[in-house]
Amino acid sequence: MAESQDLPSIGPNSGPDIAAALTRQFISFRVGDDEFAIDIMAVREIKGWTETTVLPNQQDYMLGVLNLRGTIVPIFDLRCRFGLGLTTATRSHVVIIVAISGRLLGLLVDAVSDILTVNAADIRPVPDVDQPIDNAFLAGIIPVGDGMVVLLSLENLFANHGPANTAVAA
């Protein structure tokens, strides 16, 4: 299933030039003890946590909205989105503002770690293992040193982030 990600497939004949052209950059950040990464092209801004205005009757991980210089931006708790409980946000927590399919949204994370420059060929598919985080959120694994960073699929994370209204009859 992970092979279906739209990562460029590198054939055996690909020369070094092509591989170099396929270098991608990611921003890595920490949620709990784990390192995650998202495509740097999606990131618009990184800012410290400020109190949000809570929207009524939303999923737990939807923390409310912020005023980003006149634009109303929804903020999501990434830890909670993974089903690992709510973050008790403090001023040292960080909100990463990203643009996904024309919309701006903010991700609450513990801290931003690094900018990773990765050869596309080095991104490994996610093995299908039993884990608390839904596999659909994961786009791949980037080996860094002797550890690894999990690449997130923002589209899948927030494809269906609306209010919990599926149970309501019309």
Partner 1 sequence: MSTPTFGSDELAQFRRTFFEECTELLADLEERLGALVVSSSDVESLNAIFRAVHSVKAGAGAFGYTVLVGFAHRFEALLDRLRDGKAELDERTLVSLVAAADVFSALVDLARQGEVPADDFGADVAEELAILLGSETAPRPAARSPGSAAEELPASKEKTYRIIFRPNAELFRRANEPLYLLRELKTLGALAVDCDLSRLPSFETFNADDSYLGWTMTLRSDCSPDAIAEVFEFVDNECVLTIAEADATEAKPDEAAPAIAASSKPTIVAPSSPSESKPAESKSAGKTGSISSIRVDLYRVDRLVNMVGELVIAQAMLAQQFIESRDHDDPAANQGFEHLAGLTRELQECVMAIRMQPVKSVFSRMPRLVRDVGHKTGKDVRLEMAGEQTEVDKTVIEELADPLTHMIRNAVDHGIEDAEVRLAAGKPAEGVIRLSAQHAGSNILIHVEDDGAGLDRDRLLAKATEKGIVSANVKLSGEEIDELIFAPGFSTAAAVTDVSGRGVGMDVVRRNVQALGGRVQVTSTAGKGTRFTLVIPLTLAVLDGMVVAVGWEKYILPLTSIVESFRPGRGQIRVIPGGGEVVSIRGEFVRLIHLARVFGVSEAVTDPCEGLVVLIELANGSKLGVVVDELIGQQQVVIKSLQDNYDPVPGISGATILGNGRVALIVDIEELTRLYDRNVRIADATTRPMAANA
Measured distance CA(18)–CA(9) in Å, rounded = 11
Q: Tell me, what DSSP letter sits at residue 169?
A: -
Q: Is 53 in the site for partner 1 (CB under 8 A)?
A: yes
Hey, what's the torsion of the CAs at 85, 106, 125, 19, to 10 degrees? -160
The binder of partner 1 chosen from 57, 88, 90, 92 (CB under 8 A): 57
From 23-31, 71-79, 107-115, 121-129, give the range in contact with partner 1 by CB under 8 A: 71-79
Cβ closest to partner 1, residue 105 vs residue 138: 105
CB atoms near residue 109 (< 10 Å): 25
Q: Is 88 in the site for partner 1 (CB under 8 A)?
A: no
Residues in region 115-144 near partner 1 by CB under 8 A:
none
Cβ closest to partner 1, residue 55 vs residue 121: 55
Cβ closest to partner 1, residue 63 vs residue 141: 63
Q: Is 86 in the site for partner 1 (CB under 8 A)?
A: no
Of 148, 136, 126, 119, nearest to 35 by C-alpha is: 148
* CA angle, residues 61, 151, 64, in degrees to nearest 5: 20
CB atoms near residue 85 (< 10 Å): 11
The binder of partner 1 chosen from 103, 111, 117, 131 (CB under 8 A): 103
Cβ closest to partner 1, residue 4 vs residue 166: 166
Token pair for 13: 């004949």
Measured distance CA(58)–CA(158) in Å, rounded = 14
Residues in region 13-52 near partner 1 by CB under 8 A:
51-52
Contact residues toward partner 1 (CB under 8 A) are 51-58, 64-67, 70-74, 103-105, 161-163, 165, 168, 170
